[in-house]
Structure formats: C-alpha cells, structure tokens
Amino acid sequence: MAKILDGKALAQEIRDELKIQIQNWINIGNRAPSLRCIIVGDDPASHTYVKNKIKAALDCGIEAQTLKYEATLSEEELLKVIKDLNADKNVDGILIQLPLPGDINERKACNAVAPEKDVDGFHITNAGQLFLDMPTIVPATALAVIEMLKRFKIETHGRNAVVVGRSKNVGMPIAVMLHSDAKHENGLGMDATVTICHRYTPQEQLEMYCRNADIIITATGVAKLIKAHMVKPGATVLDVGITRITTAEGKTKLVGDVDYDEVIKVAGAITPVPGGVGPMTVAMLMQNTFQAAQRSRKLQ
Ligand code: NAD
Ligand code: L34
C-alpha cells in the first residue's frame, strides 16, 4: 500500500510556520500583510475556495477581505477595481478567483494586476520570469506540488516525470519547474525528465508514458483517468484534479483524476482528494502573500 501524502496536515504545518514568521514581522513594526480576493458571480466551488483562503489568511495573521461582485460586472468595472487595489498602499496581494463568468477576458484581468501584488503568479511578467528560471511569484497550485515533493523528500533529480494536463495556470508551471535546472537562479528547478500529456495524447500513449514515470502529476479534472495498470509499482502520484460527483445517495463528493482505491495498491506514495494538493494550494497562497508584503516593504 502506498504512503498517503497528507496535504492537509502539511498545509497546517506550513501555516503554523507562517503564523510565527508573520507575528515576528509585525512585532518589529510592520503592518500585517494584506490580501484582497475578488470573486465575480455565484459559482459555489469558487466561493468555497475563496472562503478557505480568507480563513487561512486570518488564521496566520494576514489581513484579508473578499470583494464580491454580481456576474453582471463588466470588464471595465473589474479593471477599475483592480486599478484601485494596485494603487492602495495597504494592499500587498490581489487575487482574482477564476473562472470569471460572462465575457470578461481573464488574460486581460490577470495582466491588469500589478505584478508585485500578483500573488497568483498569473501576470505575464511573473509567468515569463518562471519560464526563464528567474525569481518570481509562482502560481500557488504549482508551488504546492513542488513543495510537497520537497517536504515529502521525493527524489526528482534525473527521474522521469509525467504531467497530465497542460493548462497555463496549473499543468505548465508544474512542468516548467519539474524539468528546470536546480542550479539556476530561482532555485525552483527539479531536474526531472518531463513528459507533458494532454487531451489529444492517445490513450495508449498516455498509459505508456505514465507507466514509465517515477512521478505522475495529474491535473485534468477527468475523474478516474489514471488507473492502477498505468502506474509503475512504487511511483509517486500527485493528484491535482478535483471533480464534484453526486453519489447514489444523492450526496456531493470530491474525487481526483486518480482511481484512488486501486492506485493506492500499486503506487509508492499518493495524495488523497480531498486533503491533498487543495489545502497546500491555500497554504502556498499565504506564503506568496507574505513574501509580496516583505518585498514591498523592502522597496519603501
Ligand atoms: P483546464 O480545464 O484548464 O485544463 C485541463 C487539462 O487537462 C487540459 O490541458 C487538457 O488538455 C487536459 N485533459 C483533459 N482531458 C484529458 C484526458 N482525457 N487525458 C489527458 N489530458 C486531458 O483545468 P485546470 O485549471 O488545469 O485544472 C485541472 C484540474 O485541477 C481541475 O479538476 C481543477 O478543478 C483542478 N484544480 C485543482 C487545484 C488544487 O489546488 N487542487 C487547483 C487548480 C485546479
Ligand atoms: N485565481 N483561481 C485563482 N487562483 C487559484 O489558485 C485558483 N484555484 C483553482 C480555481 N480557481 C483559482 C484554487 O485556489 C482551484 N483552487 C482550489 C483552492 C482550494 C481548494 C481546491 C482548489 C481546496 O481547499 N480543496 C479542498 C476541498 C475544498 C472543498 O471542500 O471543496 C481539498 O481538500 O482538496
């Protein structure tokens, strides 16, 4: 049976560490780091995620507020909200919860956030810096995956890794760090040999690449995509995917991309859903926010 990589417990540990660091930072005369989460529309999952983020922020001493808007908010109005937060000296971090409803251009919205306040790492400048192995703000989910590999001491140097999913916010930044040179400037590289699979990877190829991998990271939102026969015995499997399903009893349940009950019998280590990468994403957002606050104070 695989070792269960408990993301919930690790996230709590990191949040406890941050809480102490933030308290020390306030004790030497700084104001609390501050975060603003913008949420547009009434998607229930998005509201749950933002609630988790605000709760985590307040728990570790970050001043945090949600700015809620109706789905009818126009792009122009959203850009004005972002502009005002960019100019607000009391705000260190700005997050626009995605997806945005309606006709709002997400790329335009992400690029409107001041790069130094972009705690999601979605601004073109931060994405470009990551691509070039420069110090930057890394998207929280990708950072969560890398932090889990490091803290659970999963060897990546020279190992074969497969990233299933190629989205710009999740799969790609994970693949970028996994394959990059650990000796480069930002210290985020993991020296793995990386294969990226996506919706047009033929099933038999996906199976072949996964079976050859020492580490599988999956971020597709396709429930039970990764089955036991696709996993090399002893491999590490990190499941980013989250799908809400309704059980026969009519209850809502979260499942990942991995056929967990079967894969756990083959893998060496595995993350559960819920309680895996999700809570770690929230913890990494807290880290990004504290770092943004520290950098902004240095520049003053
Ligand atoms: P997305 O829809 O932007 O991307 C999905 C990716 O999966 C695409 O690149 C697509 O090519 C690939 N894909 C789809 N079907 C596939 C298949 N059959 N085989 C191989 N690849 C396939 O989604 P995203 O934003 O990257 O999120 C992916 C999943 O991760 C979702 O379930 C999302 O809810 C979840 N997510 C979780 C966290 C977390 O913190 N745990 C954070 C972000 C996203
Ligand atoms: N801008 N939009 C922006 N930044 C992000 O980093 C996100 N994401 C994704 C959706 N949109 C975003 C998140 O934060 C998904 N995501 C996220 C955040 C938290 C959790 C999952 C995904 C999480 O806390 N998951 C818990 C269960 C939560 C529940 O009960 O629904 C878990 O244990 O997996």
- What are the domain boundaries of the chain? 29-114, 130-277
**175 CB under 6 A from ligand 1?**
no
Structure confidence at residue 70 as a pLDDT band (50, 70, 90)? very high
Structure confidence at residue 299 as a pLDDT band (50, 70, 90)? confident
Q: Which candidate, 155, 225, 222, 219, places its Cα nearest to that of 192?
A: 155
Same fold, 29-114 and 130-277: yes
Q: How far is the CA of 167 from the centre of ligand 1 (A)?
A: 7
The CATH code belonging to domain 29-114 is 3.40.50.10860
Please name the residue whose Cα sits nearest to atom 42 of ligand 1: 141
**203 CA: nearest ligand 1 atom:** 19
Given CA atoms 185, 186, 191, 195 in this order, what sign does their dihedral have? negative
Decide yes or no: CATH 3.40.50.720 for domain 130-277: yes
Q: List, for residues 43-63, the tens digit of each pLDDT value.
A: 999 999 999 999 999 999 999
Q: What gap in Å lies between CA 247 and CA 208, rounded to an integer? A: 31
155: left (phi over 0), alpha (psi -120 to 50) or beta: beta
**Tokens encoding 101:** 């409803």
Q: What gap in Å lies between CA 26 and CA 129, rounded to an integer? A: 30
Q: Residue 300 has what pLDDT?
A: 76
- Out of 6, 92, 97, 239, which one is annotated catalytic? 97
Q: Is the pLDDT of residue 114 over 80?
A: yes
Q: How far is the CA of 281 from the centre of ligand 2 (A)?
A: 7
**Tokens encoding 111:** 């690029």
Query: CA distances (Å), 19 to each of 24, 61, 110, in order?
Result: 9, 6, 28
Q: What gap in Å lies between CA 93 and CA 232, rounded to an integer? A: 41
Query: CA distances (Å), 223 to each of 7, 206, 220, in order?
Result: 19, 15, 8
Q: List, for residues 239-289, the tens digit of each pLDDT value.
A: 999 999 999 999 999 999 999 999 999 999 999 999 999 999 999 999 999
**201 CB under 6 A from ligand 2?**
no
